[in-house]
Structure 1
């Protein structure tokens, strides 16, 4: 799981570098094509039976949400530091808690609601609206986090009927298919070897990262592995400094620490809830 998130972070920095030349939609299509490559490997490994979905409708909606989330995030990182975008994206678990309570009628106690509120306070510290450091593009990350949370809600709905492999396959194929419709309107041929290298790197890291995450989820429960998601902020900070000379200021670090602490507590309460169900 850690290697998977390392590769996802590598893909994020390559996507940000590509925004200097290409439209975000083309970049997301290239990343999605990499995921589709991973699905092809998965089909060869597990067999075509993984394409048999019991609930194809929600599977397709999940794929659309994945495409929208990735497009919004890549559009945002064109304008804001990578570490800040990653930090704000961590509000997704709090949105998932809200969606689970509202849509799935999952019980949420006062301590988890408090963690949600504290997490959103951490996000406000990171983006600091009205203090001269706010960039409107950061709101795209918030919207991307909302779509990511929607994906997770659909994953919970599908978990009882379809396998993880089926969900990943439908997500990749749906996202690639819908993005391909608009691709001719924004397509730019890669102009140089650097662009080709970044494109190949983006596609490969997306595919390999997805395969590693699938393998990790085969070996352990998602609620156990979820805290490793926060390793993205480490890689985002390192890559942001190496590639763009960006380092988060102390307020961004404070806000990120609050978001991570609240998120870990939320995951802890989720783990306890799952144990209680067992």
Structure 2
């Protein structure tokens, strides 16, 4: 999960630099094509291309659709808002996944973690500041992205254990590629790509591949409540990259809100770790 977050953050920083030149659809389409080529080469090298039919199941399609929707909404916000602000709101994703795990997979969530989820989303409201002069409507794109991303992560848990993660990543990349290229063709928003565009998109594709592959591996291993809090490393990367490349410094509301969200996410991790220990005396008794 830590490696995945680093890959996504670097990819986001690169894509943000293209926001004034290319449309979201063109970025998704061209970057997706590059990622797809990279994935196909890895599949061929590992001898997995012959198993492509295993990915033709509804849950893979659903997961890919959720990834597409999450990516589109996230990029809509990324090109309009400070890097750290977008990432700060995205930190609510672990809480959303924990909530979804309780509702969908019936994982046990006690009143303490329910309270943490509620307080965490209050932290999101502090970052967004609805009804105030500091409210940016584009921040709602990130909130919607969180919903789609949580659905993506939860659906990953429902995939067959025998299905190679690379095939899941390939299906996702191909769907995003088709959507992006089709959208830009229909809208007529295609912009000729220069050398800089191609270099940035190629580099972003490599880091996006890292993010895709490792997030699938992380969500298919271990308990959701344990794995997802490590997403918070994404905020550290985002703050660093935002300052380094764009001179962005998070404001007080962003720092306060993200601190609350992260604290509540870490608390849910703590509760997940201590609950088994609390059960031992009850079992022995």
**TM-score bucket (shorter structure):** 0.7 to 0.9
Paired with 1:110 and 1:226, the residues of 2 have a C-alpha distance of: 19
Where does residue 232 of structure 1 map in the other structure? 234
- Describe how 1:207-246 pairs up with structure 2 within 5 A: 207-211=209-213, 221=222, 223=224, 225-246=227-248
1:51–1:170 contact (8 Å) kept in structure 2: no
- Residue in structure 1 matching 2:190, options 187, 190, 203: 187
3-state DSSP class of the match of 1:168?
Answer: helix
- Per the alignment, do residues 222 and 103 of structure 1 end up closer, same or farther by CA in structure 2, a change over 3 Å counting? closer
Q: Which residue of 1 aligns with 2:249?
A: 247
The reply to whether residue 198 of structure 1 matches residue 200 of structure 2 is yes
Distance in structure 2 (CA, Å) of the matches to 1:134 and 1:252: 12
- 1:133 Cα shift? 1.0
Q: From the superposition, tell whether residues 121 and 150 of structure 1 become closer, same or farther in structure 2 (CA, over 3 Å).
A: same
CA contact (8 A) 2:55 2:168 kept: no
Q: In the TM superposition, what whole-angstrom CA distance separates every residue of 1:95-140 from its partner, at most 9, and x where no partner exists?
A: 2233233333333221111111011011111111223111000000
Q: How many residues align?
A: 274
1:53-72 equivalences under 5 Å are 53=54, 56-72=57-73
Q: Residue 271 of structure 1: CA displacement?
A: 5.4
User: What is the TM-score normalised by the length of structure 2?
Assistant: 0.84
- Distance, in Å, in 1 between the alignment partners of 2:240 and 2:83 is 10
Q: Is the 8 A contact 1:55 1:158 kept in 2?
A: no
Q: SS of the counterpart of 2:17?
A: helix
**C-alpha distance in structure 2 between counterparts of 1:268 and 1:31, whole Å:** 38
Q: Which residue of 1 aligns with 2:138?
A: 137
Question: What residue is the counterpart of 2:282 in the other structure?
Answer: none
Range moving further from structure 2, 57-66 or 156-165: 156-165
Determine the C-alpha separation between the residues in 2 that align with 1:104 and 1:225.
16
Tell me the equivalent position of 2:10: 10
Matches within 5 A, 1:1-278: 1-46=1-46, 47-53=48-54, 56-160=57-161, 162-184=163-185, 185=187, 186-190=189-193, 192-211=194-213, 221=222, 223=224, 225-270=227-272
CA contact (8 A) 1:119 1:263 kept: yes
Summarize the Cα distance change of 1:25–1:272 in structure 2 as closer, same or farther, 3 Å threshold: farther
Shift of 1:187: 2.0
Please report the TM-score for the alignment, with normalisation by the length of structure 1: 0.86
Contact 1:30 1:203 in 2 (8 A): no
In 2, the alpha carbon distance for the partners of 1:156 and 1:272 equals 23
Following the alignment from structure 1 to structure 2, what is the Cα–Cα distance between the partners of residues 49 and 151?
25
Offset, 1:91: 1.3
Which runs of 5 or more residues in structure 1 are unaligned?
none
* Counterparts of 1:193 and 1:274, CA distance in 2: 55
Deviates more, 1:9-18 or 1:31-40: 31-40
Per the TM alignment, residue 201 of structure 1 is displaced from its structure 2 partner at its CA by: 1.9
1:148: how far off?
A: 0.2
CA RMSD of aligned residues (A): 2.7
Maintained 8 Å contact 1:91/1:145: yes
The verdict on how the C-alpha distance between 1:188 and 1:3 changes in structure 2, with shifts beyond 3 A counting, is same
